[in-house]
């Protein structure tokens, strides 16, 4: 038995080496944080909390910034972005 290889699965042979990269881990952490913020925002807005205008303002800024970046990078046409917002 090869003592240098102690992992139960050979992730490189299975083609899963991308799954354990730091970039994928960072994206998963970012998605978890965004999901938590979205859930918190929904709770605050639905409860009629005093932060309602702040949450709605931040959400509007995020939507506008995302739409502007899509057009700026040339990934989507402005008409596509406008239709997705509507």
In tens, the pLDDT along 5-59 reads: 555 556 566 666 666 667 777 888 888 888 888 888 788 777 777 777 787 788 8
Residue partners of 78: CB distance under 8 A and separation at least 6: 71
Residue 15: per-residue pLDDT: 64
State the pLDDT at residue 79.
Answer: 93
- The pLDDT value recorded for residue 72 is 93
**Phi, psi angle pair for 84, to nearest 5°:** -70, -30
d(CA 50, CA 59) in angstroms, rounded, equals: 16
């Amino acid at each position: 038995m090869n003592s240098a290889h102690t992992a139960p699965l050979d992730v490189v042979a299975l083609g899963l080496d991308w799954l354990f990269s730091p970039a994928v881990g960072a994206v998963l952490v970012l998605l978890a944080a965004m999901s938590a913020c979205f859930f918190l925002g929904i709770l605050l807005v639905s409860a009629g909390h005093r932060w309602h205008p702040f949450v709605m303002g931040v959400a509007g800024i995020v939507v506008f910034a995302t739409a502007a970046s899509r057009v700026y990078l040339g990934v989507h046409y402005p008409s596509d972005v406008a239709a997705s917002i509507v």
